[in-house]
Structure 1
Amino acid sequence: MPIISPMPTTLRHLAMLRRIPRAPAFITTPDLRSALESLDYTVDIRTVQRDLEALSSVFPLYCDTSSKPFRWQWLAGGEVFDIPGIDAHSALVFKLAGMFLEPLLPVSAMETLMPYFRCADRVLGESGARCGSWSDKVRVLPRGQRLLMPDVSRTVLDGIHQGLFFGRMVKILYKSRGKQDFKEYLINPLGLVLRNGLIYLVCTFSGYEDIRQLLLHRMRQAEVVNEPCAVPDGFDLDGYIQDQEFDLARGRPDIPLRFRFRAVPASALYETPLSADQVITPLADRQWVEVSATVADTDQLRWWLLGFGNQVEVLEPVALREEFCAIAQDMGRLYAASDSV
């Protein structure tokens, strides 16, 4: 009788374990079978069930049998399962990543990553003081004014993640800015974007083709439905972002920007230029420089320039200069009025 190699079964089991989410998220047995089929593991539903039952005797897996189909998850607080285990240098990267992400992500998002950070702490501790001390010698400081991030419901985060992962529509309860009540929507999730600590869902509403941006912290519910996600023809998340959609674009084409800038803050532009065609020309008094660059015409550009106050004078384009003149006059009137209070 020929000997059958156990290797295909072992690889299938590893693939299954990697696709079972950590609590409180679940994956159903049919969804797990579909995920395996996408990896060219052709098995019937009964085989998947037997595999899960066997694996649960070894690994901290939990099966929710309260409804059908049954749902599976890794128990919360369990060790991170990965092969091969991370080495000390990889653990250090995880440690620094945690320090960087902590001020940027809502608590619920950080909680999903905590098992990996705890694993990194354990590896660094086992590696001795020399390697572990690196984490005491590096700090990550946020740029700009630090704001307290709004939290995102863990169930919302899990629902959106599952919708994106399985390519399915999601039913959400969403409250728009300035509104008092939540409204129910059926959406096609297309991608997630983290910007300034806020998590945006790029999506379309069912029956519509215009692309929207929804903030996850304004959602109260996100439930995956058994309908495939409808992706607009030619949609690409990178292309969408490159079109300045997250910079609140004012129009096209890009504008030739020219402005006077005090020399001291302008020094940063030598290392981090505004564009590939940027030119900085020192002026006669040496206190100022003139900067020219071709940039996107966005609200983000305006916020950046306004952040330097009286250290910047916009010269061109004329329309932008007039816009800044109006802002300066409004601010002058505002502060003049406050002096009389």
Structure 2
Amino acid sequence: MAEAKDPLFRYLALLQLIPRWPGRISTPTLQEKLRDKGFEIDKRSLQRDLRDKLARRFPIICDDTERPYRWSLDRDAAHGLPALDTASALALHLAESHLNTLLPQSVLDQLNPHFRSARDYLDGMERNGLAHWARRVRTLPNGKALLPAPLQPTTWTQVCTALLERRQLRIDYLSRSKGEARSLRIHPAGLVSRHSSSYLIGTANDYDDLRQFALHRIQRAELLDEPAREHDGFDIDRYIEGGAFAWRQAPHEVELIADVHPQIAWLLNETPLSRQQSLEPLPDTDWQRLRASVPLDQETLWWIFGLNDNIRVHAPREWVEEITCRVQNLRKMYAEPAQCDTSRRGPMENSPQAPATERKGAEAQTAEEMP
């Protein structure tokens, strides 16, 4: 095939295979991946291509402190193949604001060159309608978004590589329950991003049960050459639906029966709680009776607690009892005089205060849009 013999196509394929720093790829691995794409080349010629030709035009870094040599692109290099078009630049620009609250800073640092290229592209197109639209569109999280948990710079790269290449991973993991780090050999099965944290799903050492490992608690990660053990029958969607991340109290769904404030009823009519949901007016009041099939899990219960006195739960019985218990605990907690000196000004002492009328309006809108 002519393309396989043309050095130009080989150079393009080679540039696309080299990861940004801190990611690295060895010469033998590059040679193997090029062969998979139909390019036959010996190791010496490949290193000559990289060091004597491409490195003169592109910001390629060679780590020659160990054999085989390892290659990477400068992290901040404005390099992309193929070039951006307007739609792709717009998608990247909007994704940046959304991912800022989801991904750890070390991962965002690796994406920043792409985000910067998208911003530069759109800034240079003042007359383009899509570029103008990008400056007027934003994404907001539903509820209070916590800051992403900090992550060791190389952890994300090592974890993703282990998962994609089905290799074992040795980690030093900080146990939240024990408060100390221990060394584990992980066989990766999946990766889940949840709110402001990411979790590696896998088995540890010689155990067969799947566990979740928060990436921000991995103090050190080492990619191993040994292949990871296969997890027969593992389906990440079924794993999540089974309540792995929702602290389910039962495997089956239950019927939630509750009376809800009219604003909450309006919200649920527009954005239902589940596919099996009904709302019926209650006599002598503007409240409505909610019936919905929901999982018996802590996440749904937390959502109910977030509605405060805008909801009165009748079923399931387990939640009625837990709500009653927590209300009693709160009553005891707030019955005691406050021990905090609230007269002292904290970090927000210089924060601007909205006028009282504006604050009331904001509170009313928050109640109306409450999830």
Common fold by TM > 0.5: yes
Amino acid in structure 1 at the alignment position of 2:302:
W
Equivalences for residues 118-157 of structure 1 within 5 A: 118-131=116-129, 132-157=131-156
Residue number in structure 2 paired with 1:27: 25
Show the counterpart of 1:202. Answer: 201
2:75 and 2:110 in contact (8 A); partners too? no
Aligned twin of 1:272: 271
Alignment-derived partner of residue 189 in structure 2: 190
Deviation at 1:26, TM superposition (A): 0.7
The question of whether the paired residues in 2 share the 8 Å contact of 1:263 and 1:286 is answered with: no
Deviation of residue 46 (structure 1)?
4.6
Cα root mean square deviation, aligned: 2.3
User: Does the CA contact (< 8 Å) of 2:200 and 2:215 recur in 1?
Assistant: yes
- 2-side partners of 1:61 and 1:73: how far apart? 6
Aligned residue among 50, 54, 58 for 1:52: 50
The Cα offsets for residues 282-340 of structure 1, whole Å up to 9 and x where unpaired, read as 11234311111111111101111111112111111223222222222222222223479
Q: Distance in 2 between matches of 1:46 and 1:200?
A: 40
Q: Deviations over 1:140-188 (max 9, x none)?
A: 2222123232211111122112212221111111111154432111111
1:214 match: 213
SS at match of 2:76: coil
Could you give the per-residue CA deviations for residues 227-258 of structure 1, whole angstroms, max 9, x where no partner exists? 11113101122221222211112222111221
| Equivalent pair of 1:259/1:292 in contact (CA under 8 Å) | yes
Instruction: Sort the Cα spacing of 1:268 and 1:47 in 2 relative to 1 into closer, same or farther, 3 A.
Output: farther
> Which range moves more in the overlay, 328-337 or 115-124?
328-337
- Compared CA separation, residues 246 and 48, structure 1 to 2 (3 A): farther
TM-score (norm 2): 0.84
- Who is 1:291 aligned against? 290
Correspondence for 1:168: 167
Task: Find the counterpart in structure 2 of residue 73 from structure 1.
Answer: 72
Compared with structure 1, are the counterparts of its residues 40 and 268 closer, same or farther at alpha carbon in structure 2 (3 Å cutoff)?
A: farther
Deviation at 1:195, TM superposition (A): 1.1
For residue 229 of structure 1, what is the amino acid of its counterpart? A
Q: Show the counterpart of 2:2.
A: 5
1:221 partner SS? strand
Report the Cα distance in structure 2 between the residues aligned to 1:55 and 1:255, rounded to whole angstroms.
62
Query: Match of 2:147, as an amino acid?
Result: L
Partner residue, 2:226: 227
1:57 and 1:272 map into 2 onto residues whose CA distance is: 56
Q: Specify the alignment match of 1:112 in structure 2.
A: 110
Task: Report the counterpart of residue 299 of structure 2 in structure 1.
Answer: 300
User: Structure 1 residue 120: deviation in Å?
Assistant: 0.4
1:134 counterpart letter in structure 2? W
Q: Pick one of 15, 18, 21 that aligns with 2:16.
A: 18
Judge conservation of contact 2:278–2:292 (CA < 8 Å) in 1. yes
TM superposition shift of 1:15: 3.3
Separation (CA, whole Å) in 2 of partners of 1:178 and 1:340: 29
Q: 2:89 matched to 1:91?
A: yes
**Which AA in structure 2 matches 1:323?**
E
CA distance in 2, matches of 1:252, 1:102: 34
Name the TM-score, length of structure 1 as normaliser: 0.91
Partner residue in 1 for 2:99: 101
Q: Which amino acid in structure 2 is aligned with residue 5 of structure 1?
A: A
Distance in 2 separating the partners of 1:267 and 1:283 = 14
Report what 1:324 is aligned to. 323
Alpha-carbon distance between aligned partners in 2 of 1:41 and 1:168, rounded to the nearest angstrom? 25
Tell me which residue corresponds to 2:349: none
Q: Structure 2 CA distance, aligned partners of 1:94 and 1:57?
A: 29
Q: 1:267 and 1:40 mapped to 2: Cα distance?
A: 59
Give the letter aligned to residue 160 of structure 2: H
Shift of 1:37: 5.0
Structure 1 equivalent of residue 176 of structure 2: 177
Query: Contact between 2:199 and 2:214, CA under 8 Å: does it hold in 1?
Result: yes
Q: Distance in 1 between matches of 2:265 and 2:254?
A: 20
Aligned CA distance change for structure 1 residues 13 and 249 (closer, same or farther; 3 Å): farther
CA gap of 1:327–1:62, structure 2 versus 1, over 3 A, is same
Rate the CA distance shift 1:12–1:266 in 2: closer, same or farther, 3 A: farther
Q: 1:300 to 1:91 in 2, by over 3 A?
A: same
* Contact 2:189–2:231, Cα closer than 8 Å, also in 1: no
Task: Give percent identity, aligned residues only.
Answer: 34
Runs of 5+ in structure 1 lacking a partner? none
Ranges in structure 2 where 5+ consecutive residues have no aligned partner: 341-371
Corresponding position of 2:343: none
- Asked if the contact 1:88–1:127 (Cα under 8 Å) also holds between the matched residues in 2, the reply is no
Letter in 1 for 2:280: T
Provide the rounded CA distance (Å) in 2 between the counterparts of 1:35 and 1:205.
Answer: 30
Name the count of aligned residue pairs: 337
